[in-house]
Amino acid sequence: MSDNNSSSSDQLPNYELVDLASLPGVACPCGTARRAFAEAEDYPNTVHLTEISVDAKLHYHKKLTETYYFLECGPDAKMELDGEIIAVKPGMCIMIRPGTRHRALGKMKILNIVTPKFDPKDEFFD
């Protein structure tokens, strides 16, 4: 029987545990992001706990797909997606494909799964 927590010196552990709230915040076009798993070579994504400020900047990515899961939202929270305004609330999830100009309107906290791994060079502004 194998122990899920064990690993040999030439094998990665079977899992990685991250406390997103304890990671340092990094400024981003949306507000402040806490990014996990950037160093995990065998994981194709990054996971971000992002606190979105009221003044999120309209931007897009050429390569990255972002999946927002809304954890907390103010009553007036919305997303702008290619000029369309969509109301959002906790529990909703939206997948944003490359090339989609997007921004959050209103304060909110989201979990953002970015595929492939986040690259700050893939943030573009009109």
User: Is 62 within 8 Å of 52 (Cβ atoms)?
Assistant: no
Average pLDDT over all residues of the chain: 91
Pick the CATH number of 25-122 from 2.20.28.120, 2.60.120.10, 3.40.50.300, 3.90.79.10: 2.60.120.10
| pLDDT value, residue 3 | 45
E-assigned strand segments in 29-125 = 31-36, 46-52, 65-73, 78-81, 84-87, 93-96, 102-105, 108-115
Percent of all residues in the chain with a pLDDT value above 90, rounded to a whole number: 83
| pLDDT value, residue 29 | 87
Percent of all residues in the chain with a pLDDT value above 70, rounded to a whole number: 92
